[in-house]
């Protein structure tokens, strides 16, 4: 076949039909591919940055509660978009090394913040007016009023026992097997019968019970001895309980009582307990169980305004649990104490503490030496209060852990959606403008 024949065959072939906008169609296809590549690059970048951190936070949810850890030497305020415990995709966060409370969250009211042993931050939402709860000794659960137990390793919540919603968890037994609870018996309001005599009592005395942490079984320790229970402390050997609270109607007439932990029989009772003293906290017993710590002050005791309260001069006293008499020299406290939560080296009281009496909005965790010197164990920013540390870490003296900072990636799904929305919007606008430019 020569060239002439090929030319004749080519002349007989019908011409190829090409669209008039072939060049523009190719350009559009190329731009679409570039746009797709840009979106894919953004998605890959976000995933590359977020997935390792999110996966790490989620792995914390399956870490055992007895994982070695330490109380961080400093904590920070959480981000406004910080995920709550169990909120997808961040996960639960794992056993807690510390819990603190702050109003500087997206809820704009007091909110619990759990700092995991892996440094993760999660929020514990509280109902309006809800009192603070307790951490279990292993840091796995946060026990709320009404014995609602929030699992910090899974985010699940369950009720340990059937008690009144306002009942307050007070202190754990030394082995963590039982929880001392003040049962709120007050009736919701006054209801009058046909004879115009009230059939209900809004100031009915409360009961003190111990709840088995494994089964939820309840046993009564003291029945109707106080109008309410303010503070309770279990002795290190588990045989005695010290409690404090008002005994009269209208929360008047305070009492400090030491009782048998099993039978509730009084060992010693101090009625008309001085208004300038109080039981130091859930760890008020000294480590050897020989004395109980009291927090006392000099200053205003009745109808005190904020300035008068801030002017109080505090001290720590040790008293004989049998007689109630002070047996050691008081230890001055240069600041405002919250409560004693543990002991360091069997000697220094570990307490929640406001370094500046004039600014009670910032609480730290500190060790009080017998000479009055203060060692800061956990430093905090302004606005932090009511620190909770698991008893297990307190007893082991596991302080001085690395400072914990909240991760910007530990956020709920809606925060990711809000962050990604502007990027997608910009890409959509760019695409629309390019389409208009081609017309």
Residue 247 in domain: yes
Of the candidates 374, 375, 376, 378, the residue with the CA atom closest to the CA atom of residue 389? 378
Structure tokens at 353: 């503490």
Residue 421 in domain: no
- Which pLDDT belongs to residue 188? 59
Strands 331-333 and 374-378: unpaired
Q: Give the structural domain span for 335.
A: 61-408
Reading across the β-sheet that carries 141-144, which strands appear in turn? Answer: 134-135, 141-144, 148-151, 157-159
**Contact, 62 vs 89, CB < 8 A?**
no
Segments of the chain scoring below 50 in pLDDT: 44, 48-49, 52-67
Structure tokens at 192: 């009058």
- Which pLDDT belongs to residue 184? 87
What pLDDT digit, counting tens, does each position of 156-188 carry?
A: 999 999 998 889 999 999 999 999 999 988 755
Structure tokens at 336: 């405002």
Of the candidates 309, 310, 329, the residue with the CA atom closest to the CA atom of residue 319? 329
Count CA atoms within 13 Å of residue 208 on its CB side: 29
Q: Is 207 exposed, middle or buried (0-12, 13-18, 19+ CB in 10 A)?
A: buried
> Quick one: CA dihedral 381, 383, 385, 391, positive or negative?
negative
Scored b (16 or more CB within 10 A) or e, 175-204 reads eeebbbbbbbbbeeeeeeeeeeeeeeeeee
- Which pLDDT belongs to residue 278? 95
pTM of the entire predicted model: 0.80
Report the alpha-carbon distance of residue 292 to residue 278 in Å, rounded.
11
**Contact, 273 vs 332, CB < 8 A?**
no
Residue 5 in domain: no
**DSSP secondary structure, 105-130, as one string:** STT-S-EEEEEETTS-EEEE---TTP
Residue 324 in domain: yes
SS3 144: strand
Angle in degrees, 0-180, between the axes of helices 413-438 and 22-60, rounded to the nearest 10: 170
Query: Per DSSP, what are the bridge partners of residue 124?
Result: 112
CATH number of the domain at 269, please.
2.120.10.30
- When divided into structural domains, the chain yields a total of 1
Cα dihedral 18→22→23→28 (10° resolution): -160
Of the candidates 40, 56, 39, 83, the residue with the CA atom closest to the CA atom of residue 416? 83
SS3 243: strand
**Contact, 161 vs 178, CB < 8 A?**
no
Residue 399 in domain: yes
Residue 392 in domain: yes
Residue 44 in domain: no
Q: What angle do CA 318, 322, 326 make, to 5 degrees?
A: 30
Report the alpha-carbon distance of residue 177 to residue 138 in Å, rounded.
11
- Which pLDDT belongs to residue 252? 75
Residue 423 in domain: no
- Please name the residues in contact with 77: beta carbons below 8 A apart, sequence gap of 6 or more: 102, 104, 381, 383, 384, 406
Report the alpha-carbon distance of residue 136 to residue 218 in Å, rounded.
17
């Amino acid at each position: 076949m020569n060239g002439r024949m090929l030319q004749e065959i080519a002349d007989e072939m019908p011409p190829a039909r090409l669209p008039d906008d072939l060049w523009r169609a190719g350009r559009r296809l190329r731009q679409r591919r570039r746009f797709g590549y840009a979106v894919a690059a953004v998605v890959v970048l976000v995933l590359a940055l977020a997935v390792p951190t999110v996966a790490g936070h989620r792995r914390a949810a399956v870490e055992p509660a007895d994982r070695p850890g330490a109380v961080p030497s400093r904590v920070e305020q959480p981000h406004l978009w910080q995920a709550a415990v169990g909120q997808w995709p961040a996960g639960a966060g794992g056993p807690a090394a510390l819990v603190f409370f702050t109003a500087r969250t997206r809820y704009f009211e007091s909110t619990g913040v759990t700092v995991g042993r892996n440094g993760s931050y999660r929020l514990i939402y509280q109902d309006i007016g809800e009192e603070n709860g307790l951490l279990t000794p292993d840091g796995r659960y946060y026990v709320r009023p009404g014995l609602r137990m929030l699992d910090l390793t899974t985010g699940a919540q369950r009720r340990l026992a059937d008690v009144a919603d306002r009942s307050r968890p007070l202190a754990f037994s030394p082995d963590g097997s039982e929880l001392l609870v003040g049962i709120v018996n007050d009736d919701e309001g006054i209801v009058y019968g046909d004879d115009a005599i009230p059939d209900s009592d809004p100031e009915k005395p409360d009961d003190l019970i111990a709840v088995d942490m494994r089964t939820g079984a309840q046993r009564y320790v003291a029945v109707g001895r106080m109008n309410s229970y303010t503070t309770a402390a279990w002795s290190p050997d588990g045989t005695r309980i010290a409690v404090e609270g008002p005994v009269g109607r209208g929360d008047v007439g305070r009492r400090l009582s030491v009782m048998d932990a099993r039978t509730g029989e009084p060992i010693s009772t101090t009625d008309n307990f001085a208004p300038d003293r109080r039981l130091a906290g859930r760890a008020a017993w000294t480590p050897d169980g020989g004395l109980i710590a009291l927090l006392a002050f000099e200053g205003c005791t009745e109808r005190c305004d904020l300035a008068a309260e801030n002017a109080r001069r505090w001290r720590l006293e040790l008293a004989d649990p049998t007689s109630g008499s002070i047996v050691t020299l008081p230890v001055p406290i240069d600041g405002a104490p919250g409560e004693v939560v543990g002991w360091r080296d069997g000697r220094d009281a570990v307490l929640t503490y406001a370094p500046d009496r004039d600014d009670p909005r910032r609480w730290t965790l500190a060790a009080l030496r017998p000479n009055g010197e203060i060692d800061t164990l956990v430093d905090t920013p302004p606005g932090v209060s009511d620190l909770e540390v698991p008893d297990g870490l307190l007893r082991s003296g596991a302080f001085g852990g690395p400072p914990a900072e909240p991760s910007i990636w530990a956020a709920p799904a809606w925060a990711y959606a809000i962050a990604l929305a502007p990027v997608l919007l910009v890409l959509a606008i760019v695409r629309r403008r390019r389409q208009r430019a081609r017309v």
